[in-house]
Structure 1
Amino acid sequence: MPHLPYLADRAELTDASDLITMFGSDARSEAAARADRSRDLGNYLHFCRWRQIERLIGWLSSDRAIGTVH
């Protein structure tokens, strides 16, 4: 079972939603590219943030329930 993403704040959900709207099925790749750019610049905070958004996009894009279903 995949790990559920950690959300530091509401802005991460907004950014994930915006990437999905702008890039569609490529949204996860865009988030990964942004994480890579942040890492290359030495900005580990933004690197971690974009990695979490990448995971969140995967979670939101899933066609099946993840986690406990009641």
Structure 2
Amino acid sequence: MPYLNDRAAVSDAFDLIRKFGDDAGFEAAARADRSRDLGNHIHFCRWRQIERLVVLMSVGRAVGTIH
């Protein structure tokens, strides 16, 4: 499960899915790589988590424990 430290990550994941469709995960990965190349480890980690969230949001069923 991805770590989410704020609601903005969910909003960013939703925006990527809306703008890029099936390629949203690739876009998040590209943003993470760009941040890493710039030496920004905080944004690198954030975009990697958003990449994982995009994958979870694109699955057509619940993942994890359901109560």
TM-score for the superposition, normalised by structure 2: 0.95
Give 1:69 deviation, angstroms: 2.0
- Which residue identity is paired with 1:11? A
Cα RMSD (Å) of the superposition? 0.7
How far did residue 65 of structure 1 move? 1.9
Q: Distance in 2 between matches of 1:19 and 1:65?
A: 20
User: Corresponding residue for 1:39?
Assistant: 36
Residue 16 (structure 1) aligned with residue 13 (structure 2): yes
In the alignment, structure 2 segments of 5+ residues that lack a partner are none
Q: Distance in 2 between matches of 1:64 and 1:17?
A: 17
User: Which residue identity does 2:19 align to in structure 1?
Assistant: M
CA deviation vs aligned residue, 1:16-49 (integer Å, no higher than 9, x gap): 0000000000000000000000000000000000
Q: Give the superposition deviation at 1:63.
A: 1.8
Distance 2:61 2:5 in 1: 24
Could you say which residue in structure 1 is the equivalent of 2:47? 50
Deviating runs (4+, > 4 A) in structure 1? Answer: none
